[in-house]
Structure 1
């Protein structure tokens, strides 16, 4: 049932003359199978012959074609993919054709780990990543948060070290959807492996996030990214436009986003650790924020904020 003859009438392997020399090997579920799976007749036929081929170690073109049929029926079967790679290497097959087959399988199974892993191995063998970023972009156009596609893209970038235009690509995704946590993660990944978080980059990134957050102040993704950025310098305050004043202005303007309040607590905790003289007033403000979160703006995590209030009192109280 391979991709080249998908419209041809299906012929069971047991009825194919070229397979007459092979004795199929049925699946052995043991004498006391608890839940016997009702496989289709075609599925049973294909996998009985696959087990037979694998048991005798046949590495042939017909075995390769058989793996294609098996994978079209179950693309998540690791054993079939592994055996297919063994055949490809033994026969010295044209890997361009394999990339085409793999792309077709990814299009049909975009969230299947085994398909993406196979693709990675083939790219490694070829040493040619030229198609891969475009492939992931195609998948992102259907699902911008596909974990397997992001993992593949990061592997390509990390392995072949070609980050040209990656931040521009991330900008486009975040312009389309500022809630795309995968894109925020990719931004941090790219900077980490290129320029690093130098003081200039930190300034730039804080301003970038400050422009993004007002688009949806309750969106946790840019707030999480901001926390990741500020971890690269010593302290939240007095850096890149004064984050404390920025947050306070939003708060004074009536914003009560859980993300905003949580970030303000983080900043106050940081100040309490460094400025003993102002601890008393900072602790009072922090406990008030914890109370507001527990009772109004993050009630589902009430017990967490009660716990944090006790923690702050124990650490910074008189």
Structure 2
């Protein structure tokens, strides 16, 4: 929001309003030697000089409520003004439905302002009525599908009031529109984790859903990350799900060299190594090969990271070779 515009033509400074003549404005005090003096418009100074005055006197009145609205129009991120406005709403027993309408208008003009979303949350808590929150956040996310504050508010409303019923459909529409929408994938995890749970059936359903999206866009980090996350809840682990390992190997066989595929196979190798699985495909040798490929061809920008991992897997190779030699020596001795 701005401190200038068409409304300024009709603006009457508070210092010229007869109904405010009983209030002595309090100028901003930057101290005797301010490092940086912030330049404010005359309107901004006028409004905030009077706001500081009523804050000091702790005045709770309708005129102060209107003053906070002017102050927030000039700076919608001012926490003190929002907090004082909440105090006024309680003291004056103001119609909170009207306040919800006001906050919705502020959100539409300042959708990434944390303070206004927090104010909205407090109002919904007071009313215990979340009926408008999914529509409001949905509209905000249509404008910006990755608006963190809108997602945070939506998750709070859903979890607090149990509004899970249609959320997977909402998320699926977003992912269909943009399969790389990391926020939508995160919301999908949120819904499953907090509502459906990670039974074997749900895990497999989510695996199938995710593999379908990966097959559509193979170089999509969001889907690969979701796959990793859901497999934390699969008792078979990364290397134990045959559907996934077969899918990955089929992609690799068909010349797919997405860095996210290769990195995922490395994680599968890591899981197999930790389990001491003798799988011929997923071992330290394969991990070294893929790390080298990523470092030199497919993900050069993170070459140092892949080289670091490569050295670690080479140690696994040495340990495995040493163990094999010891086993051979025992067989010969016998």
State how 1:224-303 maps to structure 2 within 5 Å: 224-234=225-235, 235-239=237-241, 242-278=243-279, 282-303=283-304
CA shift for structure 1 position 314: 2.5
The residue number in structure 1 matching 2:151 is 150
Higher Rg of the two aligned structures: 2
The residue number in structure 2 matching 1:124 is 125
2-structure distance, mates of 1:200, 1:178: 23
Secondary structure of the structure 1 residue equivalent to 2:97:
helix
CA shift for structure 1 position 312: 1.9
**TM-score normalised to the size of structure 2?**
0.91
**TM-score normalised to the size of structure 1?**
0.95
* Runs of 4+ with >4 A deviation: 5-8, 278-281
The residue number in structure 2 matching 1:184 is 185
2-structure distance, mates of 1:280, 1:226: 20
Alpha-carbon distance change, 186 to 193 in structure 1, aligned in 2, over 3 angstroms: same
Q: Output one character per residue of 1:150-182: Cα deviation in whole Å (capped at 9) or x when no partner.
A: 000000011111211110111111010001100
Residues 279 and 316, structure 1, Cα contact 8 Å, conserved in 2: no
The residue number in structure 2 matching 1:16 is 17
Secondary structure of the structure 2 residue equivalent to 1:194:
helix
**How many residues are aligned here?**
315
Unpaired segments ≥5 residues, structure 1:
none
CA shift for structure 1 position 8: 6.9
CA shift for structure 1 position 233: 1.6
Residues 272 and 316, structure 1, Cα contact 8 Å, conserved in 2: no
The residue number in structure 2 matching 1:162 is 163
Secondary structure of the structure 2 residue equivalent to 1:242:
helix
CA shift for structure 1 position 277: 3.8
1-structure distance, mates of 2:304, 2:284: 19
Secondary structure of the structure 1 residue equivalent to 2:196:
coil
Secondary structure of the structure 2 residue equivalent to 1:225:
helix
Q: Output one character per residue of 1:197-218: Cα deviation in whole Å (capped at 9) or x when no partner.
A: 1100000000000100122211
The residue number in structure 1 matching 2:55 is 54
CA shift for structure 1 position 275: 3.1
CA shift for structure 1 position 278: 4.7
Residues 268 and 282, structure 2, Cα contact 8 Å, conserved in 1: no
CA shift for structure 1 position 282: 1.8
Secondary structure of the structure 2 residue equivalent to 1:34:
coil
Unpaired segments ≥5 residues, structure 2:
320-334
Q: Output one character per residue of 1:46-96: Cα deviation in whole Å (capped at 9) or x when no partner.
A: 000000011000000000000000000000000000000000000000000
Secondary structure of the structure 2 residue equivalent to 1:317:
helix
Q: Let me know the Cα RMSD of the aligned residues.
A: 1.8
Alpha-carbon distance change, 166 to 278 in structure 1, aligned in 2, over 3 angstroms: closer
